[in-house]
Amino acid sequence: MRFIDTLESKLGRFAIPGLVQVIALFQLGVLVLVLMMSKESAQTYLDLLSLDTDLVMKGQVWRLVTHVFIPRSFSILWAVLGTLIMMWIGRGLEQAWTPFRVNLYILTWMIAVTAGNLLFGWSAEALFLYQTLFFAFATFYPNEEIMVYFILPVKIKWLAFIAAGMTLLGVVQQPIMLLPVLVGHLNYLVAFVPGFLKDGLQAAKVTDRRSRFQQASVPADAFFHQCSLCKKTEVDDPKLEFRVLDNGDEICSVCRAKRQS
Report the pLDDT value the prediction gives residue 219, as an integer from 0 to 100: 58
Secondary structure tally for the chain: helices H, strands E: 12, 4
* Containing structural domain, residue 72: 8-197
Residue 211 forms part of a structural domain: no
Give the pLDDT confidence of 158-216 residue by residue, as tens digits.
999 999 999 999 999 999 989 999 999 999 999 999 888 888 888 888 787 777 776 66
Residues 38 and 81 in one domain: yes
- Pick from 197, 232, 247: which residue ends a domain? 197
Write out pLDDT tens, residues 79-96.
888 888 899 999 999 999
Residue 210 inside a domain? The answer is: no
The answer as to whether 203 is a domain residue is no
Q: Is residue 63 part of a domain?
A: yes
- Measured CA to CA, the distance from residue 133 to residue 96 in angstroms comes to 12
pLDDT bucket at 221, cuts 50 / 70 / 90: low
More confident residue, 156 or 124: 156
Q: Are residues 227 and 168 in the same domain?
A: no
Q: Band the pLDDT of 156: cuts 50, 70, 90.
A: very high
At 5, is the pLDDT very low, low, confident or very high (cuts 50, 70, 90)?
Answer: confident
The answer on 154 and 87 residing in a single domain is yes
**Residue 208 covered by a domain:** no
| Same domain membership, residue 229 and residue 191 | no
Contact 82, 73 (CB under 8 A): yes
Q: Is the pTM of this model over 0.85?
A: no
212 located within any domain: no
Q: How many domains does the chain have?
A: 2
Backbone angles phi, psi at 58, to 5 degrees: -90, 5
Q: Is residue 169 part of a domain?
A: yes
Same-domain status, 136 and 242: no
Neighbours of 201 (CB within 10 A): 10
Determine contact, residues 117/35, Cβ cutoff 8 Å.
no
What is the rounded distance in angstroms from the CA atom of residue 171 to the CA atom of residue 174?
A: 5
**Per-residue pLDDT reduced to its tens digit, 222-242:** 677 888 888 888 888 888 888
Q: Where are the beta strands (DSSP E) in 140-192?
A: 145-148, 152-155
- What's the distance, Cα to Cα, between the start and end of the chain in Å? 78
pLDDT of 218 strictly over 70? no
What pLDDT was estimated at residue 216? 63
Per-residue pLDDT of 30-62, as tens digits, reads: 998 988 988 889 889 988 988 887 888 888 889
Judged against a pLDDT cut of 80, whether residue 102 lies above it is answered with yes
- Residue 12 within a domain: yes
Same domain as 170, residue 130: yes
| Helical (H) or strand (E) element with 244 | strand 242-244
Torsion of Cα atoms, 227 then 232 then 235 then 241, to 10°: -50
pLDDT at residue 129 greater than cutoff 80: yes
